[in-house]
Amino acid sequence: MPEIRRVNLPPALLAHLLDRIKQRQISAEQLGLLAAWLDTHPEVPPGKWFKRFPGMIACGEGELIKTFLLPGQLPEGREL
């Protein structure tokens, strides 16, 4: 299974993720939890997946994080 890519993200994807962080007012604390999780080099399935945090949900597909949702929103894919 692949690990999440943290470098060389497509510019449009990086812009989308930054927009979602701003629009959904995701806190630095939540981003810190995401960074700590990424530091564990988690393996992810090749299809759609999501990881719940107390104040957000990171959603991805394969090696890429694709968006961030708020806890009340419904993610798609396999929960990690």
Tens of pLDDT, residue by residue over 11-70, are: 999 999 999 999 999 999 999 999 999 999 999 999 999 999 999 999 999 999 999 999
Helix (H, G, I), strand (E, B) or coil at 16: helix
Strands (E) across the chain are located at 48-53, 56-61, 64-69, 78-79
Q: Which domain holds residue 69?
A: 11-79
Cβ within 8 Å of residue 65, ≥6 positions away: 4, 17, 58, 59
* 3 found inside a domain: no
Q: Which helix (H) or strand (E) holds 36?
A: helix 28-38
* 6 found inside a domain: no
Global confidence as pTM:
0.92
**Counted domains in the chain:** 1
* 4 found inside a domain: no
* 68 found inside a domain: yes
